[in-house]
Amino acid sequence: MRRTVRQSGLLAAIVLVAGAAATVNAEMGGSDGDSGAGMVGPEITERELVYTRSMEIDGVQIAYREAGVENQDPGEPVIVLLHGFPTSSHMFRDFIPELADEYRVIAPDYPGYGLSDAPDAEEFEYTFDNIAGIVEELLEREGAERWVLYLQDYGAPVGFRLALEHPERVAGLIIQNGNAYEEGLPDSFWGPWREFWQNPEDEASIQYLASLLTLDSTKWQFLHGTREPESISPDNWLVVQPLLERPGNAHVQLELAFDYGSNPPRYPAWQAYLREHQPPTIITWGKNDEIFPASGALPYLRDLPDAELHLLDTGHFALEEDGELIASLVKRWLAREVVPVSQNDTAESESSHTR
């Protein structure tokens, strides 16, 4: 499914280089049989284009990135990348092309994030139920009937809502620092959140949560726990921070922070879904994350004993440091665990229709 550059000028250049290499080889005593085939090298491939699109849903413009539409084979699911706080589909900017040479990929920006509209919190219901409904509507309009869901941070409660609503559409889960267990919410980070859920008027909790919207906090989320902090692109906080500082956005983030308290009571239902449906799952987890530490990754194996688990020596945004590794692991897993099953399901469905 890779598209190869076949321009005549490039081919002519390759032929010239190969011919020159053959001449050098002959002068050095090489045989004619060795000279040409080994010197041309690998094919030159195009990098998949990633398109930024938008659609209006319930009066709100929802932006999303999409790639690999022409590479989706019949029966293959769409890979749906669900971002975390405080970023957007921007966190997948390098990951999408890694997958899109073989699969169709969609990465939405939630309302209040990225390039999507950020309506005033007094006029829009910032809840995970509402966000999941908007993502579902986007996927429906895009004709994405089956999904492999990438769950990271806030993307986990969005994705698990989609999975419980439509378990038949979930072809697999990619879980990256996305929590579904009480063990994954340590008091060292989540204590003030719990206090806020109990008392949303508590001034100390509000001040703490407001501190998470500062530039220093944003940089900390991207840098903490990484092996090489200087390798993390500052583009991350240069993109994220101005969006966080939009007028009224602090209120938006407080609304979602409060609604995050609706997630832990749902953990038993999410875990029951995993046990009952056993979706193919790969877990690639930054083990140095203080927000969602590795203690939240290990419990998945209780409910998904066949899940593939990788604890990576990095932080919360593992794609920043280990994106190529994660892409390689995910593509291998998709080819082994997800695509063959999806193609078999399609073949069986087509067979039943012809009987």
- pLDDT of the residue at 343: 55
- pLDDT of the residue at 29: 42
Asked if residues 321 and 232 have their Cβ atoms less than 8 Å apart, the reply is yes
Give me the DSSP letters along 191-254.
HHHHHHHH-TT-HHHHHHHHHTTSHHHHHHHHHTT-S-GGGS-THHHHHHHHHHTSTTHHHHHH
Catalytic (active site) residue 310: no
Chain centre distance of CA 264: 22
Mean pLDDT of 225-230: 98
Parse the chain into domains and list their residue ranges.
Answer: 1-46, 51-349
- Asked whether the predicted pLDDT for residue 31 surpasses 80, the reply is no
Per-residue pLDDT tens over the stretch 196-210: 999 999 999 999 999
Active-site annotation holder among 90, 224, 251, 316 = 316
- pLDDT of the residue at 75: 80
Q: CA–CA separation, 268 vs 322, rounded Å?
A: 31
- Asked whether the predicted pLDDT for residue 32 surpasses 80, the reply is no
Encoding tokens for residue 103?
């699969």
pTM: 0.85
Confidence class for position 47, pLDDT limits 50, 70, 90 = confident
Per-residue pLDDT tens over the stretch 94-104: 999 999 999 99
- Asked whether the predicted pLDDT for residue 178 surpasses 70, the reply is yes
Mean pLDDT of 153-167: 98
Mean pLDDT of 257-263: 98
What residue type is 19 in one-letter code?
A: G
Average pLDDT, the chain: 88
- Of residues 314 and 37, which shows the higher confidence score? 314
Does the domain made of 51-349 have the CATH classification 3.30.559.10?
no
- pLDDT of the residue at 71: 84
Residue whose entry in the numeric block shows the structure tokens 């340590």? 186
